[in-house]
């Protein structure tokens, strides 16, 4: 086993879980009523090692919407189906140094990276327009959802229609980004912007829970082979690219500090979810709705800090 004394490890995780549980910092996202209603007490942690050992504690089966944690997944899928050369003809690999939804493109008039809204909307247009272009939006939704599900050991994902509808209503900035990129001819030819925006909101509105997301993180930790099904879902080069950008751009404007302090690829979302990858060891998903001013889950961050203090998981711990 990659973690030989799993029982001891579990004890540590439990301790860190309870320590973070009493943290009442942060505010739940409130830009749409469906997220504002989230229970701030919810807190779950799930772990899945690359050899399939699993542990979870707290609210690990309560569904939440993927929100920005869908961004590394759509990016992974685009890399896998279209290849990195095509994807990065359209989207960069540089942190933006700006807000995740900032109306800004890089010096080549491309979105900075796939982990911010502009880049993720662009990746959605690539998946919609270049990969199996004959598919309708309905077929594409099923196709993407089943790809996500393969990352998660064939666990079934849900979809929150209320979140989808209100995301779409309260999306002035995202539409502004969408049109701004069209003005600068960022999309592949034949892109239908309305469909592409809907597709982006749909990805944000898919639902999973900590248990399911920890398997996805474990598939990334395991070089693209799902530890539960042994299915090869991603090529190693796709995984490398996804993890690189999670490492440099996954935690909004805290990405640099997180890379310094925790040293692990991670991605957070506005629902309070966090995907954390310990390469060649395990995947972790934490979920707790209260967010700090930069948009990251307060309990999730505390958990990561504690974990790095206890274990030598930081990328540069073993030199």
- Would you name the residues annotated as active-site residues? 68, 71, 200, 252, 270
Closest to ligand GLN by CB, 37 or 310: 37
* Shortest distance, position 22 Cβ to ligand GLN, whole Å: 26
Secondary structure of 212-227 in the HEC alphabet? HHHHHHHHHHCCCECC
Q: Which is nearer to ligand GLN, 253 or 305 (CB)?
A: 253
Q: How far is the CB of 295 from ligand GLN (least distance, A)?
A: 6
Q: 282-287 and 273-278 as β-strands: parallel, antiparallel, unpaired? A: antiparallel
Task: Give strand pairing partners of 286.
Answer: 45, 274
**Kind and range of the H or E element at 54?**
strand 54-58
Compute the least distance from the CB of residue 74 to ligand GLN, in Å. 12
- Identify the DSSP state of 300: H
What sign has the CA pseudo-torsion 229, 234, 235, 241? Answer: negative
**Structure-token match 């979302």, residue found:** 269
Rounded to whole angstroms, the Cα distance separating 278 from 261 reads 14
Taking the least distance from each CB to ligand GLN, the nearer of 95 and 227 is: 95
Nearest distance, CB of residue 12 and ligand GLN, angstroms: 29
The residue number whose beta carbon is nearest to ligand GLN equals: 68
- Pick between residue 49 and residue 117 the one whose CB is nearest to ligand GLN: 117
Coil, helix or strand at residue 160 = coil
What are the residues binding ligand GLN (CB under 6 A)?
Answer: 67-68, 100-101, 117, 167, 174, 204, 269-270, 295
- Planar angle of CA 69, 106, 275, nearest 5 degrees: 15
């Amino acid at each position: 086993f990659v973690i030989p004394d799993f029982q001891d490890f579990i004890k540590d995780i439990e301790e860190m879980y309870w320590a973070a549980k009493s943290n009442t910092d942060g505010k739940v996202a409130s830009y749409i009523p469906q997220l504002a209603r989230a229970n701030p007490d919810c807190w779950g942690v799930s772990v899945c090692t690359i050899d399939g050992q699993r542990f979870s504690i707290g609210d690990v089966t309560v569904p939440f919407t993927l929100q920005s944690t869908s961004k590394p997944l759509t990016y992974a899928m685009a890399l896998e189906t279209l290849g990195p050369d095509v994807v990065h003809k359209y989207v960069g690999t540089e942190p933006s140094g700006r807000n995740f939804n900032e109306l800004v493109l890089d010096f080549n008039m491309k979105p900075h990276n796939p982990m911010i809204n502009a880049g993720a909307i662009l990746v959605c247009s690539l998946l919609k327009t270049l990969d199996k272009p004959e598919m309708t939006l309905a077929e594409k939704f099923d196709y993407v959802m089943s790809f996500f599900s393969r990352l998660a050991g064939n666990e079934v994902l849900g979809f929150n229609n209320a979140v989808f509808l209100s995301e779409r209503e309260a999306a002035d900035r995202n539409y502004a980004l969408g049109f701004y990129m069209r003005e600068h001819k960022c999309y592949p030819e034949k892109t239908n912007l309305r469909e592409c925006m809907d597709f982006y909101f749909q990805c944000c509105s898919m639902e999973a829970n900590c248990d399911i997301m920890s398997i996805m993180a474990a598939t990334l930790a395991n070089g693209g082979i799902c530890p539960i099904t042994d299915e090869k879902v991603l090529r190693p080069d796709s995984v490398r690219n996804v993890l690189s950008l999670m490492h440099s751009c996954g935690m909004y404007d805290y990405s640099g500090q997180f890379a310094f302090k925790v040293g692990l690829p991670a991605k957070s979302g506005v629902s309070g979810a966090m995907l954390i990858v310990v390469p060649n060891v395990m995947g972790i998903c934490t979920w707790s709705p209260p967010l700090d001013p930069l948009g990251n889950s307060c309990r999730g961050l505390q958990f990561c800090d504690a974990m790095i203090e206890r274990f030598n998981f930081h990328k540069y711990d073993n030199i």
